Chain A
């Protein structure tokens, strides 16, 4: 296995074009890739380490949005002040994320590109309707995160393309994140959910709920929120209302019916807390 550390996107794409595409793999934090490599699940001839692409590890803000470089670590996200104040759901997800050693190494780009149904940063990114900037030999393009993640481990990345940054609009929404796992720390989520909202008195002006580990990808509970608003904010039938948005499965961590119940309770607790 040959190892490369390109320092610019131009160098990266030039390098990639000279390698046989099937056998090269991009490396960011490595917290998922290295164990998979050790088990023989990935066997690249060429390992392209992205960590020297310094343009990708900044978190930048302007008046209207925050742009998170794909190489920003979970720890970088946790420590960022604007993210902690204006994007609380994302901050809380980074706080509940694995342990310190993994947070110091794992990147937001890796969490997105792994496209795990349970990825802990993902519900917040869906609920904030994050826009992803992708960079490839043919140039840049942007995609909404919901159009980028196609299934478990599957993304819309094209040949040689990488995720460059994540753009969040500074809409000044309130937000929250909840995660339920089999233990408090270092556990893959049984259900995780982010709420992004704004309110005028008793009613929500804006409500976006995104949940993980209840479908092949993160889902936004749009049918639920629509029905909930039409119902005049009646929170009694949550379990029936979320039915159409989710398709949980039984696995080693939990059953489908348990996941549905947990999500129902998390949504109920959130709504109760807001209308108290």
Chain B
């Protein structure tokens, strides 16, 4: 993280994975760095750092966003869900299980973002077409799987194998 300007402190209050977090942070801190370094929630990954790849996807106030394109101060008062909090008290969501069942994971780096994006899609549309899945996933890049198994996992989540 570059420090281009003189540091200023900010008292941040934000709900992360259902818990209220209050921290003093510096205003130039990115949300992604706040989650990974301050809260040790390392499921959200940094790859491109400029909003092209979706590896840092988190859910902010019900919408998927790139945590690398947001300053932590901007989410003051907001509600964030990361991959760590997605299943709540359950071990895994149906979609996470489906990623396992369909062998949709190779190196795994993009998978937290893929799962969160897929989860929000299924929330709106329980039976999306493959084209609808591809459209929704267009902000998430994977360089291993060729996408087919990821699309399978979302298409068939909650169904019988």
Contact = CB atoms under 8 A, between A and B. Distances in A.
B50 interface: yes
Contacts of B74: 27, 30, 49, 51
B27 to A, nearest CB: 4
Question: How many A residues are at the interface, by size bracket?
Answer: 20 to 34
A43 interface: yes
Interface in A93-119: 98-102, 104-105
B148 to A, nearest CB: 17
Interface stretch (B64-72, B90-98, B104-112, B153-161): B64-72
B63 A43 contact: no
Given A1-B6, A31-B51, A100 B117 contact: yes
A104 B65 contact: yes
Contact of A34 (B5, B69, B120, B138): B69
A75 interface: yes
B45 interface: no
A31 B1 CA distance: 17
A252 B52 CA distance: 18
A101 B54 contact: yes
Question: How many B residues are at the interface, by size bracket?
Answer: 35 or more
Contacts of A104: 60, 63-65
A35 interface: yes
A40 B50 contact: no
Nearest to A75: B63
Contacts of B138: 99-100, 184-186
Contact of B69 (A1, A43, A105, A185): A105
Contact of B4 (A30, A43, A75, A186): A43
B107 to A, nearest CB: 20
B150 to A, nearest CB: 15
B82 interface: no
Nearest to A40: B4
Select the residue from A27, A43, A101 with max chain B CB neighbours within 10 A: A101
Contacts of B70: 30, 34, 105
Contacts of B6: 1, 45
19 contacts: A2-B8, A5-B76, A27-B74, A31-B51, A31-B66, A31-B69, A34-B69, A34-B71, A35-B50, A37-B28, A45-B6, A47-B27, A49-B73, A99-B54, A99-B140, A100-B64, A100-B117, A101-B54, A184-B138
Given A34-B70, A45-B6, A186-B138, 20 more contacts: A1-B4, A2-B8, A5-B76, A30-B69, A30-B71, A30-B74, A37-B4, A38-B49, A40-B4, A45-B5, A47-B27, A47-B71, A49-B74, A99-B138, A100-B117, A100-B136, A101-B64, A101-B139, A102-B139, A186-B139
Interface of A: 1-3, 5, 27, 30-31, 34-35, 37-40, 43-45, 47, 49, 51, 75, 98-102, 104-105, 184-186
